[in-house]
Amino acid sequence: MSTEPANSIIIPTKISIQHNKHKVTPDEKTNPRLQRRWDWQDILYLLLLVGLVVVMAYRFTPNFTGEVAGEWWDPLLNMWTLSWDTTTLLHAPTHLWQAQLLYPNNLSLSYSENLLGEAIIYTPFFLLSHNPVFAYNMTFYISFLLCGTNMYIMARHYTGRPLAAFVAALIFAFAPYRLAQLDHIHIIAGEWMPLAFLYLDLSLEQGRWRNWILFALFFFLQLLSSIYYGIFLSYSLLAFVLIRYTLPFISHLRSGKGHYVIYLLRRTLKPVIVFAIMFNFLGILMAPYLVSLQGGLSRSLGQSTGYAAFVRDFLFAEPFNWLYGTSYYNGFVLPYDSEHYLFLGLTTMALAVCGIILAWRKRSTVLRAYTWTALIVLLFAFGPFLQYSTPNGGPFVATASSFLGRIALPAIPPNIVMPWALAYFVLPGFSGLRVPARLIGVLLIMLALLAAFAVAWLQNRASDYAEKRLNTEPGTVATRHFTRLPPLRTVALRILLVLIPLAILMEAVPAYIPVTQVPTGNAIPAVYHWLATHGGQEPIVELPMAYLNEEFSFKQEAWYDYYAIYHTHPIADGWSGYRPTLTNNMAAQLLNFPSASSLAFLKQYHIVYVVLHLQYYNPAIAATMLAQAKSNAGLRRVAVFGSDSVWQVI
| Helices 132-159 and 162-174: angle between axes, nearest 10 degrees | 140
Report pLDDT digits (tens) over 2-40: 344 333 333 334 444 344 444 444 334 434 455 678 999
| CA nearest neighbour of 229 among 132, 115, 121 | 115
Q: What is the pLDDT of residue 169?
A: 98
Residue 75, pLDDT above cutoff 80: yes
Q: What is the pLDDT of residue 474?
A: 56
Q: What is the pLDDT of residue 393?
A: 84
CB count within 10 Å of CB 510 equals 23
Q: What is the pLDDT of residue 264?
A: 83
| Percent of the chain surpassing pLDDT 90 | 73
Question: pTM for the whole thing?
Answer: 0.90
Q: What angle do CA 88, 89, 93 make, to 5 degrees?
A: 85
Report pLDDT digits (tens) over 221-250: 999 999 999 999 999 999 999 999 998 888
C-alpha 137/C-alpha 60 separation (Å) is 11
Q: What is the mean pLDDT of residues 248-256?
A: 84
Residue 639, pLDDT above cutoff 80: yes
Residue scoring higher pLDDT (490 or 222): 222
**The residue type at 409:** L
Q: Are 460 and 10 in contact (CB under 8 A)?
A: no
C-alpha 640/C-alpha 630 separation (Å) is 12
Instruction: Identify the weakest region by mean pLDDT among 136-150, 203-217, 278-292, 532-546.
Output: 278-292
| CA nearest neighbour of 165 among 53, 38, 23 | 38
C-alpha 305/C-alpha 413 separation (Å) is 12
Q: What is the pLDDT of residue 11?
A: 36
| CA nearest neighbour of 352 among 452, 450, 499, 459 | 450
CB count within 10 Å of CB 89 equals 14
Instruction: Identify the weakest region by mean pLDDT among 33-47, 464-478, 508-522.
Output: 464-478
Average pLDDT taken over every residue of the chain:
88
Which phi and psi angles does 618 have, rounded to 5°? -60, 135
DSSP 321: B
DSSP 391: T
Residue 439, pLDDT above cutoff 80: yes
C-alpha 202/C-alpha 426 separation (Å) is 30
Instruction: Identify the weakest region by mean pLDDT among 185-199, 456-470, 514-528.
Output: 456-470
Instruction: Identify the weakest region by mean pLDDT among 155-159, 240-244, 407-411.
Output: 407-411
Report pLDDT digits (tens) over 570-626: 999 999 999 999 999 999 999 999 999 999 999 999 999 999 999 999 999 999 999
Instruction: Identify the weakest region by mean pLDDT among 40-44, 82-86, 247-251, 373-377.
Output: 247-251
Q: What is the pLDDT of residue 293?
A: 85
Peptide bond into 544 cis (omega under 30): yes
| CA nearest neighbour of 344 among 245, 426, 437 | 437
Report pLDDT digits (tens) over 577-590: 999 999 999 999 99
Residue 399, pLDDT above cutoff 80: no
| CA nearest neighbour of 37 among 161, 176, 218 | 161
Q: What is the mean pLDDT of residues 115-119?
A: 96
DSSP 293: I
Q: What is the pLDDT of residue 238?
A: 96
C-alpha 361/C-alpha 630 separation (Å) is 80
Q: What is the pLDDT of residue 465?
A: 65
C-alpha 276/C-alpha 270 separation (Å) is 10
Which phi and psi angles does 370 have, rounded to 5°? -70, -35
**The residue type at 222:** Q
| CA nearest neighbour of 220 among 161, 280, 299, 180 | 280
| Percent of the chain surpassing pLDDT 70 | 89
Q: What is the pLDDT of residue 36?
A: 72
Q: What is the mean pLDDT of residues 71-84?
A: 96
